Each structure stands twice: as structure tokens, then as C-alpha cells.
Amino acid sequence: MLRTSAELANLLVEMEEVELISRSQLNLGRIKSLNMPRSPTSSEDEMAQSYSDYSVESESDSSKEETIYDTIRATAEKPSSRMDDSQSNTLVIRIIIPDLQQTKCIRFNPEASVWVAKQRILCTLNQSLKDVLNYGLFQPASNGRDGKFLDEERLLREYPQPVNKGVPSLEFRYKKRVYKQFNLDEKQLAKLHTKANLRKFMDHVHHLSVEKITKMLDRGLDPNYHDLESGETPLTLAVQLDNTVEVIKALKNGGAHLDFRAKDGMTALHKAARAKNQVTLKTLLELGASPNYKDSCGLTPLYHTAVVGGDPYCCELLLHEHATVSCKDENGWQEIHQACRYGHVQHLEHLLFYGADMCAQNASGNTALHICALYNQESCARVLLFRGANKEIKNYNSQSPFQVAIIAGNFELAEYIKNHREADIGGVSDASEKKLCIALERFMIQYFNFL
């Protein structure tokens, strides 16, 4: 009996998903037993488990690649839950992987982000890809439209697929510059991308030589690469420097991908956030960067601002651009925990204003107030209690914030927590008033930006 291409694609998808379930179960079991971090069970363990205290400098490239694959597989949505969805809410796409010479038909949720679709693909692979986080979904040129890589934080449905030509296809390939010229000389391009020229290009970026940068880009240089010494890309280097707005624009216009990651797994937006550089952060967002790009640990730029502190405007800007709050690291720490860990009061205020959960517990069961008690951050504790934080929540070692403060020897803070009354709670109780405050804040940001 003859089958249509759509029926054959669905049959292939079902076979892929059965195989994926078995492989994922094996992978998840291995990850849980070998690679997942130990969940701290007491406040003392927290002292060594904060994300920002981790050191990855000594890791080899191969071990980093394994860690990235483990993170992807452990955090990916279980395939069985997707199989229960009705086919009307799914999209079957043929995925072509040139580097592995493989083709797969995979069913995706069109309401999911490209990042989630990318994880879905990686979970099906039985071979590793080098620098896997810089692989992306590429939509080939068709119907007069240029080929392009799909932005990782946009939804799949935002990229319409042709439905009248059988099963739509996307390529899963390493992110490189997408050239619009059709008569490129491959030999000339190869000569342009020598180690000496790539080093020279990084020097031009470092010295803010916009004209020289533009000249090399016009000749066809691809700015999506890692410096052999620093591991930075031209764009991640530029965003950490001052007075580089024109350099950043030149790189973007010359084919630099905003979600291309440096050797350490961070995008340019992460680097700008960690450098506390509000000018370059704003420039990247204006050029179309998503505030929700993930690094190799699955963390967002907003999470990093809560760790490093600095100018609270960086935090506020990301939130204003709809950064997702409540990103978790591998030990359950969220932005609110990190802000309290380091006493970044203004960052904490912004996070609370945009809906951060004061009751959120990390892997030890500690809330933000527990973290304040542990690290003696009285100013942050006062903010939390004034906003109505529940001081009676106990962590997984049955300790309240008051008890944690006593154990940590922070007796003055313990006394303050103990004596705080519900009558002292302020905060915004009326929802409409809160919406008005948000609207006013956004107006003020736009007003000052205009000035």
C-alpha cells in the first residue's frame, strides 16, 4: 500500500521517539548516578554550593563537552510527555545534520522555543558534536528569502514552514556567517581566515579600529570564531570594553551571531552583564539579542547580574526587556538567592518588583531569607521581611531563617528576624496599584532614554 510523504514522516517520527525514550532513560539514569551534583542538606553545605564559587578553569575541553551534553539531557523535557500531545499541536520537521551525514524526522511543539527544539535534537544524537552549543537550526534560502539561522529564544511557530511541499526541512549545523553573495571565491575566503588574520582581527577589535574591522568584514571574514588564546569571540571581547557601540554594530552587520558563544559557553549578552557594562548591554538588546539566552549551564544574563552586582540598571534593563525571572542553577539557586547572597539590595528590589518568588527554595530548601541569615545580609533581609517574606518556612534540615542565623553566629540579624511582626509588612497589596507602578517605571525609563 502506497503511503504519502507525511505518513512516512510520521512513521519515522514514531520510530525515532521510541528509540529516544530508551536512550534518554539510559542517559538520565547514568547522569543521576554519576554527574548530577549532590544536593546540600544543611545551611553549612550552602557555603560551598553557590554557583558563583564553582571553578571550571581546570576542566579540559572534552570534559566540558561531556558536561554540556549531560546538562542538556538532564534538563530536556521527557519524550513520553510529548508523545501524549495530539498531533494537531505538533510539527514534523526533517532535520538534516551535515556534519554527521544524518537525517532525522522529529516532531516538535511549535509553541516551544528554538532552544528547546535544539535540545530535542541533541537528545537524539548517538555521536558527539564539537562545540555543540554553537550549532543551530538553519533555514535554507527559498522563495526569494535569504537563508538564516533561527534565533534560539524565538518560538518555532514564528518561522513559518512551507506546507505544500511535503515535510519541511531544516539543517542543524555549526553557526557561521551567512553570506548573501552567490559568487564567493572559496579559495580567497580560505586565505582570509588564516590564524594570523584572525589574530589581527581580534587586535582591531581590542583597539576599536572600526574602519579596519569593517574592511576585513567586507572582504568576507567570518566573525564567528574563538580566539585561540582567550577563547573569546570578537563580539564577546567587544562588549566587555568601553566605547565599543560602533564596533558591536559593525560586527553584527558583518555577520556576527548574537547568540554565538565564547569558549566558556557565554554569549555576548552574558559577558556584558558580567562586565556590568550597561551601554553594551543596551546596544545588544537594541540589535535584537534576547535577554533569555542560556549559557552552557542554562543560566541567563539576569542570573549573572544578580551574582556580580554592579550598576542595578543592567538588572533593571534586562527585566524591562522581559527577561524571565526564576532561572535555576544546578543547586536550585535563583536570582533572588544570589542577590541576597551578595547583598545586592537594589537588584533584589528590582527582582521583587518584577515578580521574583520570595518563597522559592533551593536544593537545600533554603529561601532567600535563609540565605540572608546565613551570610548576614541584614539589608536584604529587611527588604524581604518588609515585602512580606514568610519567616516560618523551614529548609530541608528543619531550620527556620532565625535558626540559620543563630547557627551562623549572626545574632543581631537573628534577633531582627525573630522580632519582626506582620504589622511591619509594607509592599504593594493592590494588584492595580502594582500595575500602575510598573507602567510608571517603564515610562520613566523611556523618558530618561529619550533625554
On whether both 380 and 279 belong to a single domain, the answer is yes
- CATH number for the domain including 211? 1.25.40.20
Q: What is the pLDDT of residue 144?
A: 75
User: With b meaning 16 or more CB within 10 Å and e meaning fewer, what string describes 330-350?
Assistant: bbbbbbbbbbbbbbbbbbbbb
HSE of 213 in the Cβ direction (CA atoms, 13 Å)?
25
Query: Is pLDDT above 90 for 288?
Result: yes
On whether both 14 and 159 belong to a single domain, the answer is yes
Query: Is pLDDT above 60 for 36?
Result: no
Report residue 264's pLDDT band, with 50, 70 and 90 as the boundaries: very high
On whether both 295 and 344 belong to a single domain, the answer is yes
On whether both 205 and 239 belong to a single domain, the answer is yes
Is residue 179, in this structure, part of any structural domain at all? no
Query: Is pLDDT above 80 for 404?
Result: yes
Report residue 271's pLDDT band, with 50, 70 and 90 as the boundaries: very high
Domain that holds residue 87: 5-34+51-174
Is residue 269, in this structure, part of any structural domain at all? yes
Percentage of the chain with pLDDT > 90?
65
Pairing of strands 102-108, 135-139: unpaired
Helical H segments across 162-320, by residue range: 186-192, 195-206, 210-218, 234-238, 245-253, 268-274, 278-286, 301-308, 312-320
On whether both 9 and 153 belong to a single domain, the answer is yes
Q: What is the pLDDT of residue 80?
A: 44
Q: What is the pLDDT of residue 161?
A: 74
On whether both 193 and 168 belong to a single domain, the answer is no
Per-residue pLDDT tens over the stretch 136-161: 999 988 877 889 999 999 999 998 87
On whether both 165 and 131 belong to a single domain, the answer is yes
Q: Give pTM, 2 decimals.
A: 0.81
Mean pLDDT, rounded, for 177-189: 82
Final residue before a domain boundary, out of 174, 194, 209: 174
Is residue 111, in this structure, part of any structural domain at all? yes
Query: 442 to each of 76, 291, 345, how far by Cα in Å?
Result: 35, 17, 20
Q: What is the pLDDT of residue 82?
A: 44
Mark residue 173 as left, alpha or beta (left: phi above 0; alpha: psi -120 to 50; beta: remaining): beta
Mean pLDDT, rounded, for 415-429: 75
Report residue 53's pLDDT band, with 50, 70 and 90 as the boundaries: low
Report residue 67's pLDDT band, with 50, 70 and 90 as the boundaries: low
Per-residue pLDDT tens over the stretch 94-109: 999 999 999 999 999 9
Report residue 9's pLDDT band, with 50, 70 and 90 as the boundaries: low
Look at 184-193, 314-323, 335-344 and tell me which has the smallest mean pLDDT.
184-193
Report residue 43's pLDDT band, with 50, 70 and 90 as the boundaries: low
Is residue 297, in this structure, part of any structural domain at all? yes
Query: Is pLDDT above 60 for 22?
Result: no
Is residue 448, in this structure, part of any structural domain at all? no
Is residue 151, in this structure, part of any structural domain at all? yes
Mean pLDDT, rounded, for 187-197: 92
Q: Which helix (H) or strand (E) holds 174?
A: strand 169-174
Look at 35-44, 101-110, 143-152, 279-288 and tell me which has the smallest mean pLDDT.
35-44
On whether both 242 and 374 belong to a single domain, the answer is yes
On whether both 259 and 350 belong to a single domain, the answer is yes
Assign 237 to helix, strand or coil: helix
Report residue 164's pLDDT band, with 50, 70 and 90 as the boundaries: low
The total number of structural domains that make up the chain: 2
Final residue before a domain boundary, out of 174, 195, 227: 174
Q: What is the pLDDT of residue 291?
A: 97
On whether both 68 and 89 belong to a single domain, the answer is yes
> What average pLDDT does the chain have?
84
Is residue 46, in this structure, part of any structural domain at all? no
On whether both 216 and 139 belong to a single domain, the answer is no
Per-residue pLDDT tens over the stretch 199-225: 999 999 999 999 999 999 999 999 999
User: With b meaning 16 or more CB within 10 Å and e meaning fewer, what string describes 409-443?
Assistant: ebeebbebbeebeeeeeeebeeeeeeeeeeeebee
Final residue before a domain boundary, out of 153, 174, 195: 174
Mean pLDDT, rounded, for 399-422: 96
Is residue 396, in this structure, part of any structural domain at all? yes
Q: Quote the CA–CA distance of 104 and 96 in Å, as a whole number.
A: 7
Q: Quote the CA–CA distance of 59 and 54 in Å, as a whole number.
A: 11
On whether both 149 and 190 belong to a single domain, the answer is no
Report residue 81's pLDDT band, with 50, 70 and 90 as the boundaries: very low
- CATH number for the domain including 106? 3.10.20.90
Neighbouring C-beta atoms of residue 307, cutoff 10 Å: 22
Decide which of 75 and 211 is more confident. 211
Report residue 438's pLDDT band, with 50, 70 and 90 as the boundaries: low
